[in-house]
């Protein structure tokens, strides 16, 4: 396994909530190729094919509140 730098740029202006605090919610999805990160392991299945696919789906659901 190796480290790969992935850059993400976000321009964000935080909204206020009814109590005067700062909060935000985000949803993000992306897909990466596990081999780009040096994950090469795989195992053949008895029925044919292999155990793992190359594509990894990443889904984030975040709720943030400034302390």
Where in the chain does DSSP place strands (E)? 23-33, 55-65
Check whether 66 has a pLDDT greater than 70.
yes
Answer with the residue of higher pLDDT: 17 or 35: 35
Higher pLDDT, 18 or 57: 57
pTM reported for the whole predicted model: 0.59
Least confident of 6-10, 31-35, 60-64: 6-10
Quickly state the pLDDT bin for 37 (edges 50, 70, 90).
confident
Q: How many CB atoms lie under 10 A from the CB of residue 32?
A: 15
């Amino acid at each position: 396994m190796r480290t790969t730098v992935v850059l993400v740029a976000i321009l964000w202006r935080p909204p206020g909530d009814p109590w005067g605090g700062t909060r935000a919610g985000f949803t993000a999805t992306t897909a990466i190729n596990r081999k780009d990160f040096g994950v090469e392991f795989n195992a053949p299945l008895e029925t044919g094919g292999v155990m793992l696919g190359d594509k990894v789906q990443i889904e984030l659901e975040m709720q943030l509140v400034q302390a």
